[in-house]
Structure 1
Amino acid sequence: MSFFAPLFAEYDPLSLVLAALVMFVAGFVKGAVGFALPMVAVSGIGSILPAAVAVAALMLPALLTNVWQALRDGLGKALESLRTFRAYTLGIVVVMGLVAPLVSILPAPTLLLILGVGVTFFAAIQLAGWRPSAEMARRPAAGAVSAGIAGVFGGLAAVTGPPVVLYMLARGVPKVEQVRIQGVIFLLGLIVVTSIHGATGVLNAVTLPLSVLLIAPAFAGMAVGLWVQDRLAQETFRRATLVVLVIAGLNLLRRGLAG
């Protein structure tokens, strides 16, 4: 109980219950579409608690749900996906590690605005009908740009999903393979970012217990979401991912502008 004592001393029970409910929804969305737990968690929990606390809180739930997502089809399949996208994955992880220390420096409104603009932009261009061609996506430069952008957003708040999803959709990667490689990329990146946050103090005596507390609702939500995902058609899956991006991105913008 002493492990959680600083958390309960800092925040009231209602705030913690609401944070757990948000994390359940975030887990559900991740299970259904294969990503977006950080976006939903940051935008939702960030409406209840400070932005930096929201970022810290999602670290362990995101890390462990990505273990589940990456290994759902077995270690062999995960390694096969990693080999296929090894250069792309390495680029994302390296940039995430370089950017992550900024979380302890940037003002909360600035952090939320950066995330909100990026997420909303990526979703809006897709919903407007723009989609990079498969030929364009296969160019090394396209992969490098996508990996760089994903690494920046991933380092700031583990929001690696939008550019990765767009890149995978453009490459025409099948749904199951897309979800698996997303899990592998997110997992490796989060291992690096979580380690950095532990060193910089973003994960501390208050936020680490909060992150532990939110693991269970994240897993419960993801279990329900995976049941839904298995019943989604490919095009329905694609549209659902974009709708999730728009909603989360606009909420991040609202939080950033509200200060």
Structure 2
Amino acid sequence: MSDNSLVALFLPADLTVLNLLVAFAIAALAGTVKGMVGFAMPMILVSGLSLFLPPDIALAGLILPTLVTNGMQALRQGAQAAWQSIYRFRIFLLVGLAFLLVSAQLVRILPADVMLILIGAPVTLFAVLQLFGIAIPISRATPRVEATVAAVAGFIGGFSGIWGPPTVAYLTALGTEKGEQMRVQGVIYGLGAVALLVAHLGSGVMRVETAPFSFALIPPAILGMWFGGKLQDRINQATFRRATLVVLLLAGANLLRRGLMM
């Protein structure tokens, strides 16, 4: 039996052994970036995997690695700290969850290009302004602002698997401390990843044919996250903020690219 036949027994027919190895490398890269700045794993995975896989398989592939690594990130400082973050951002979590569950059911019928452009443009603008020193401070997390950002993040996340950029833009504008921002992102994305899994069990994206591929991407994602975490421990708050903004800029530009090229 050939290597490709062995792969076909457990993984989608669109995959070859070479494609699987490339997918492992993409997952490791995504994990490294996430370990360093706390987000961008879904963006890197779905962008990279979509180059050689159908969109639904690429989306399915990111679900389980995202779920596992976000759980690790949320609990890195202990369950009590994670619970405090859940309570503090409860409005964000509840509103984001509701919009994510709704939009996930539209994944096969909703044209994504307009939504990607609408979210990519302000995220890119925010990152550029911040990198050039033009501050957009938010003195406190008002319920209205928090709910609005959560609705946008949840809606785009449901059908694209990417809900990080608006969340990070919000936390960065609040001036969140490095350690807390990493934990909060893990909590928000982790609970969002649970919702994404449940939603796409319903939509049919996560199914018997695609689940093994998603499982297979967990180990390289964890390895990359471990390495990225080592890098993150060595940088100070200013460097962390700049690195976050650079990745955020790339994320926003990538969303614009995807929207314009659809």
Q: Do Structure 1 and Structure 2 share a fold, with TM-score over 0.5? A: yes
Matching residue of 1:143: 146
User: For 2:11, what is the secondary structure of its paired residue?
Assistant: helix
Q: How far, CA to CA, are the matches of 2:119 and 2:213 in structure 1? A: 22
Matching residue of 1:233: 236
Matching residue of 1:218: 221
Check conservation: 1:96, 1:155, Cα contact below 8 A. yes
Q: How far, CA to CA, are the matches of 1:15 and 1:249 in structure 2? A: 26
* Aligned residue among 38, 41, 46 for 1:37: 41
Matching residue of 2:193: 190
1:105 Cα deviation from its structure 2 partner: 2.2
Gaps of 5+ in 1: none
With over 3 angstroms needed to count, the CA separation of the structure-2 counterparts of 1:54 and 1:77, relative to structure 1, is: same
Gaps of 5+ in 2: none
Q: How far, CA to CA, are the matches of 2:29 and 2:119 in structure 1? A: 19
Q: How far, CA to CA, are the matches of 2:51 and 2:77 in structure 1? A: 35
Q: How far, CA to CA, are the matches of 2:204 and 2:71 in structure 1? A: 24
Check conservation: 1:51, 1:108, Cα contact below 8 A. no
Aligned amino acid, residue 151 of structure 1 = G
Check conservation: 1:197, 1:203, Cα contact below 8 A. yes
1:248 Cα deviation from its structure 2 partner: 3.4
* Aligned residue among 171, 182, 204 for 1:201: 204
Higher mean alpha-carbon deviation, 248-257 vs 163-172, is at 248-257
Q: How far, CA to CA, are the matches of 2:259 and 2:112 in structure 1? A: 7
* Aligned residue among 65, 68, 93 for 1:61: 65
Aligned amino acid, residue 247 of structure 1 = L
Q: How far, CA to CA, are the matches of 2:25 and 2:116 in structure 1? A: 21
Q: How far, CA to CA, are the matches of 2:118 and 2:7 in structure 1? A: 33
* Aligned residue among 87, 90, 103 for 2:91: 87
Q: How far, CA to CA, are the matches of 1:157 and 1:9 in structure 2? A: 22
Q: Does 1:242 align with 2:258?
A: no
Check conservation: 1:92, 1:151, Cα contact below 8 A. yes
Instruction: Note the alpha carbon deviations across 1:176-234, whole angstroms, 9 max, x for none.
Output: 11111111111111111111101211112332111011011100100000001111111
Q: How far, CA to CA, are the matches of 1:54 and 1:121 in structure 2? A: 27
Runs (4 or more) in structure 1 with deviation over 6 Å come to 1-4
Check conservation: 2:130, 2:136, Cα contact below 8 A. no
Q: How far, CA to CA, are the matches of 1:52 and 1:107 in structure 2? A: 14
With over 3 angstroms needed to count, the CA separation of the structure-2 counterparts of 1:128 and 1:107, relative to structure 1, is: same
Q: How far, CA to CA, are the matches of 2:17 and 2:210 in structure 1? A: 15
With over 3 angstroms needed to count, the CA separation of the structure-2 counterparts of 1:123 and 1:25, relative to structure 1, is: same
1:64 Cα deviation from its structure 2 partner: 0.5
Q: How far, CA to CA, are the matches of 1:111 and 1:78 in structure 2? A: 31
Structural mapping, 1:169-184, within 5 Å: 169-184=172-187
Matched residues, number: 258
Q: If the length of structure 2 is used for normalisation, what is the TM-score?
A: 0.88
Check conservation: 2:32, 2:228, Cα contact below 8 A. yes
Q: How far, CA to CA, are the matches of 1:16 and 1:112 in structure 2? A: 27
With over 3 angstroms needed to count, the CA separation of the structure-2 counterparts of 1:36 and 1:88, relative to structure 1, is: same
Matching residue of 1:11: 15
Check conservation: 1:7, 1:205, Cα contact below 8 A. no
Q: If the length of structure 1 is used for normalisation, what is the TM-score?
A: 0.89
Matching residue of 2:110: 106
RMSD: 2.4
